[in-house]
Chain A
Amino acid sequence: MGIRFILMVNKQGQTRLAQYYEWLTLEERRALEGEIVRKCLARNEQQCSFVEHRNYKIVYRRYASLFFLVGVDNDENELAILEFIHLLVETMDRHFGNVCELDIMFHLEKAHFMLEEMVMNGSIVETSKANILSPIQLMDKAS
Chain B
Amino acid sequence: MGSQGGFYQSKEFLDLVKSIGEARSKAEEDRIVLNEIETLKRRISEPDIPKRKMKEYIIRLVYIEMLGHDASFGYIHAVKMTHDDSLLVKRTGYLAVTLFLNEDHDLIILIVNTIQKDLKSDNYLVVCAALNAVCKLINEETIPAVLPQVMELLAHPKEAVRKKAIMALHRFYQKSPSSVSHLVSNFRKRLCDNDPGVMGATLCPLFELIARDVNSYKDLVISFVSILKQVAERRLSKAYDYHQMPAPFIQIKLLKILALLGSGDKQASENMYTVVGDIFRKCDSSSNIGNAVLYECICCVSSIYPNPKLLESAADVISRFLKSDSHNLKYMGIDALGRLIKISPEIAEQHQLAVIDCLEDPDDTLKRKTFELLYKMTKSTNVEVIVDRMIDYMISINDNHYKTEIASRCVELAEQFAPSNQWFIQTMNRVFEHAGDLVNIKVAHNLMRLIAEGFGEDDDNADTKLRSSAVESYLRILGEPKLPSVFLQVICWVLGEYGTADGMFSASDITGKLCDVAEAYSNDETVKAYATTALMKIYAFEIAARRKVDMLPECQSLMEELLASHSTDLQQRAYELQAVIGLDAHAVACIMPSDASCEDIEVDRDLSFLNDYIQEAIEKGAQPYIPESERSGMLNISNFRNQDHHEASSHGLRFEAYELPKPAVQSRIPQTLIASTEIVPVPEPMYPRESYQTTMPSIPSDAGSAELKLRLEGVQKKWGRSTYTPATSTSNSTSQKTVNGTSQGDGASTVSSMRETYDSRKPQVEVSHEKQKLAASLFGGSSKTEKSPATGHKAAKASSHVVKSHVPKSSLEVASEKATPAQQPPDLLDLGEPTATSTALQLDPFKQLEGLLDATEVASAVNGAPAASRSPDIMALYADTAAGIHNKNDADLLSGLSNPSVTNMPGTTAMPQVTQSSSKGPNPKDSLEKDALVRQMGVNPSSQNPNLFKDLLG
Contacts and interface: CB of A to CB of B under 8 A. Distances in A.
Interface in A93-143: 93-103, 105-110, 112-113, 116, 120-121, 123-131, 134-135, 137-143
Contacts of A2: 204
Nearest to B934: A102
B376 to A, nearest CB: 14
Contacts, number: 314
B729 A73 contact: yes
B87 A139 contact: yes
Contact of A107 (B7, B103, B804): B7
Contacts of A46: 327, 363
A112 B801 CA distance: 23
Interface in A1-27: 1-2, 10-15, 17-19, 22-26
B249 A127 contact: yes
B804 A83 contact: no
Nearest to A93: B953
B401 interface: yes
A137 B21 CA distance: 26
Interface string B185-200: 0000000000001001
Contacts of A13: 26
Interface string A68-87: 00000111011110111011
Contacts of B447: none
Interface residues of A, number: 90
B21 A102 contact: yes
B953 A63 contact: yes
B733 interface: yes
B128 interface: yes
Given A82-B288, A93-B804, A108-B63, A99 B197 contact: no
A86 to B, nearest CB: 7
A51 to B, nearest CB: 6
Given A102-B948, A130-B818, A75 B730 contact: yes
B29 A94 contact: no
Interface stretch (B163-171, B309-317, B344-352, B829-837): B163-171
Contacts of A77: 252, 292, 295-296, 299
Contacts of A86: 288, 801
B237 A128 contact: yes
Contact of B655 (A24, A56, A65): A24
Contacts of B805: 94, 129
B658 A98 contact: no
Given A79-B328, A99-B953, A23 B655 contact: yes
Contact of B3 (A74, A107, A112): A107
A11 to B, nearest CB: 7
B811 interface: yes
A66 interface: yes
Interface stretch (B66-74, B605-613, B781-789): B66-74
Interface string B335-379: 000000000000000000000000000010110100000000000
Interface of B: 2-3, 5-9, 14, 17, 20-21, 23-24, 26, 29, 59, 62-63, 65-70, 86-88, 91-92, 95, 99, 102-103, 125, 128, 132, 135, 160, 163-164, 167, 170-171, 174, 197, 200-201, 204, 237, 239-240, 242-243, 247-250, 252-253, 288-289, 291-293, 295-296, 299, 327-328, 330-332, 363, 365-366, 368, 401-402, 654-664, 729-730, 732-733, 801, 804-805, 807-808, 811, 814, 817-818, 820, 849, 852-853, 857, 861, 896-897, 920-927, 929-930, 934, 941, 947-954
17 contacts: A29-B68, A47-B366, A48-B328, A75-B730, A77-B252, A98-B930, A98-B951, A100-B927, A121-B170, A121-B174, A123-B201, A124-B249, A129-B239, A131-B160, A134-B818, A139-B6, A142-B852
